[in-house]
Amino acid sequence: MNILIDTNIIAEYFEHRAQYGFVRPILQAVRDGHHKGFITQGTVYTLTYLAERALKRNDIHEPELTDRLREIMLSIMQLFEPIGISKYEFIKAIQNRDFTDLEDSMQMQAAISHKCPVLLTININDYKKSTDNGVELLTPQEFVERYMNP
């Protein structure tokens, strides 16, 4: 199954937050080829920024910083397929009044455009007005319960 992975899912994994226990088996299923994981190009940029900040917080600096950052980002690129949306789709997402968070609207537009039946996110409430578009919104726990533990 194709799954669009919201940025917050990967942050949840790297920072071992509350949903980590559910995110880990999903990412393992993607790694094993049971599901195909997609992330937006915007997610790649955001994760690069967040990883660099985390490394600096851990007192890692040049030249090791860039080498470690490259390792992290290459591991992400090996796991996920990055996808983009067109200018028209960006405009559609920006104008979508179902969202107050435009980044979430862009994530949803990417899921729709690339025919991902599932958008995995921690912030389900940010998407609550967006329905009837063929994309199922699930938290990591809901995904595990519905698709991994039938």
pLDDT in tens, 35-72: 999 999 999 999 999 999 999 999 999 899 999 999 99
Q: What is the mean pLDDT of the chain?
A: 92
**CA–CA separation, 34 and 27 (whole Å):** 10
pLDDT at 111 over 80: yes
Average the pLDDT over 100-124 and give the result.
Answer: 93
pLDDT at 97 over 70: yes
pLDDT at 109 over 90: yes
- Report which residue type is found at 58: N
> Residues of the chain with pLDDT > 90: what percent?
77
Q: What is the pLDDT of residue 150?
A: 61
pLDDT at 130 over 80: no
Residue 34's Cβ-side half-sphere holds a number of Cα atoms within 13 Å equal to 9
The answer to whether residues 118 and 135 touch, using CB atoms and an 8 Å cutoff, is: yes
Domains of the chain listed by start with CATH number: 2-148 (3.40.50.1010)
pLDDT at 90 over 90: yes
DSSP 124: G
Q: What is the pLDDT of residue 17?
A: 87
pTM of the model: 0.90
Using omega within 30 degrees of 0 as the cis cutoff, is the peptide bond preceding 82 cis?
no
